[in-house]
Amino acid sequence: MLHAPTPLGRGTTERELPQARGDLSAAVLDALRTSPALARFPGAHEVEQADPLGDDLQLALYACYELHYLGFTGVDPAWEWDPELLRLRAAMEENFQCALRAGTTGHPDLDDALDALLVEPVRGAGVSRYLHDEGSLWQLREYAAQRSLYHLKEADPHAWVIPRLRGRAKAAFVAVEFDEFGGGRPERVHARLFADLMADLGLDTAYGRYVDAASAQMLATVNLMSLLGLHRAHRGALVGHFAAVEVTSSPASRRLAAAMRRTGAGSAAERFYDEHVIADAVHEQVVRRDVIGGLLEDEPSLAPEVAFGIAATEFVEDRFAEQLLGAWRQGATSLRTQV
């Protein structure tokens, strides 16, 4: 049974540490419950042996990354820049990046990658099509619970690239982000609109509430944004991620808005996707012409990294879609825990 909604504006601000999913995540979470001076971390061998896309490493990375967002209640803020934790995180990131590179081998060059984003397959089989055509209300709730790890901090990881851009690319990027953050109106911030959607679906709107229920595939989708955002070296790939999200969002959002209407999810649930149909259709041209165009005008050598960012985004999103649809087509839940 799904959790009752937390009233917006009066919800809990407690952000508890998640439950461990293996030795690696247990070591990180146990450390965060103590002080940096007392922590003990796994060695390089343990990290190398971990599945780079599996629950254990992805949850450990997620916990490390969250220290740069809202953090966790009761966790010492000094952990954010603790050298030993950063060394462990770097080893996990290397493992994750190797899996991303391997999963995107042979991706097209940038122009082909951008052109491909604009092509909607006639007989698509993605999550938004499934939910549009035959999805049930309980499946929309599961989808929203998992995606809340992404959408309740929507646009935040992308903001890290702003000081790493210049001129036309920076101005255009900030213009798009301004829309993502509500154009100066707090009730229009996209993360807030998603919280309203969750309330319509009977979900708890607290930030990070569904991390224990989310799959490894969803964690990898969220972690990719943080990985690219936190490293200046990945600025090109983060712009590629941004482009992939903005260019493909409008058609999928149109289908999801229709699914919300068909199932009677509620007006706020419809509004979130209706907003993205309009906003992202405009953003598409700005991102391609001015953000990517401006970046490559200044740094043409980053074109392969922008293409990698697009390919990596498709890679993690495709894996998440396979996880969801694989469960649903068997009549099973996509969630790890009951919510």
The whole-number average pLDDT for the span 273-294 is 84
Higher per-residue confidence, 42 vs 157 = 157
Asked if pLDDT for residue 318 goes beyond 60, the answer is yes
Name the percent of the chain lying above pLDDT 90: 77
> What's residue 299's pLDDT?
97
Asked if pLDDT for residue 6 goes beyond 80, the answer is no
CB 202 within 8 A of CB 8: no
CA distances from 166 to 47, 153, 241 (A): 37, 24, 18
- Structure confidence at residue 249 as a pLDDT band (50, 70, 90): confident
CB 113 within 8 A of CB 107: yes
> What's residue 191's pLDDT?
94
Q: What is the mean pLDDT of the chain?
A: 91
The whole-number average pLDDT for the span 179-198 is 93
> What's residue 281's pLDDT?
65
Closest CA to 286 of 166, 159, 157, 177: 177
> What's residue 144's pLDDT?
98
- Quick one: three-class SS letters along the chain? CCCCCCCCCCCCCCCCCCCCCCHHHHHHHHHHCCCHHHCCCCCHHHHHHCCCCCHHHHHHHHHHHHCCCCCCCCCCHHHHHCHHHHHHHHHHHHHHHHHHHHHCCCCCCHHHHHHHHCCCCCCCCCHHHHHHHCCCHHHHHHHHHHHHHHHCCCCHHHHCCHHHCCHHHHHHHHHHHHHHCHHHCHHHCHHHHHHHHHHHCCCCCCCCCCCCCCCHHHHHHHHHHHHHHHCHHHHHHHHHHHHHHHHHHHHHHHHHHHHHHHHCCCHHHHHHHHHHHHHHHHHHHHHHHHHHHHHHHHCHHHHHHHHHHHHHHHHHHHHHHHHHHHHHCCCCCCCCCCC
> What's residue 122's pLDDT?
53
Higher per-residue confidence, 256 vs 1 = 256
Asked if pLDDT for residue 291 goes beyond 60, the answer is yes
> What's residue 275's pLDDT?
85
Half-sphere exposure of 143 (CA within 13 A, CB side): 25
> What's residue 39's pLDDT?
77
The pair of three-digit structure tokens given for residue 2, joined into one six-digit string: 């799904």
Name the percent of the chain lying above pLDDT 70: 94
> What's residue 279's pLDDT?
66
Range with lowest mean pLDDT among 39-48, 147-156, 294-303: 39-48
The whole-number average pLDDT for the span 218-231 is 98
The whole-number average pLDDT for the span 228-247 is 95
Asked if pLDDT for residue 1 goes beyond 50, the answer is no
The pair of three-digit structure tokens given for residue 118, joined into one six-digit string: 């604009």
The whole-number average pLDDT for the span 9-16 is 65
Where does residue 304 rank: exposed (0-12), middle (13-18), buried (19+ CB within 10 A)? Answer: middle
Asked if pLDDT for residue 335 goes beyond 60, the answer is yes
**What confidence tens digit (pLDDT) does each residue in 82-128 have?**
999 999 999 999 999 999 999 999 888 998 998 888 776 655 679 99
Higher per-residue confidence, 273 vs 43 = 273
- Structure confidence at residue 3 as a pLDDT band (50, 70, 90): very low
* Cα four-point dihedral sign 280, 282, 283, 288: positive
Cα–Cα–Cα angle for 195, 196, 197, rounded to 5 degrees: 90
